[in-house]
Amino acid sequence: MTAERLGARGQALELFQDLQQLVYDPHWWQLAYNQDDECIGLVMPAKSPAFATIGYIGVMPEQRGRGYIHQLLGRGTDILLKAGVTPIRADTDVHNEPMANAFRRAGYIQFATRSEYGRNIHIEIPR
Contacts of 105-114 with C-beta under 8 Å, sequence gap 24+, read 105/70, 106/70, 106/73, 106/74, 106/77
Instruction: For 80-119, write each residue's pLDDT tens digit.
Output: 999 999 899 999 988 899 999 999 999 999 988 877 777 7
Instruction: For 6-22, write each residue's pLDDT tens digit.
Output: 788 888 888 889 889 89
In whole numbers, what is the pLDDT of the chain averaged over residues?
90
Integer Rg of the chain from CA:
16
Q: Is there a contact between 69 and 102 (Cβ–Cβ < 8 Å)? A: yes
Instruction: For 40-52, write each residue's pLDDT tens digit.
Output: 999 999 998 899 9
Do the strands 39-47 and 30-33 form a parallel or antiparallel pair, or are they unpaired?
antiparallel
Do the strands 52-59 and 88-89 form a parallel or antiparallel pair, or are they unpaired?
parallel
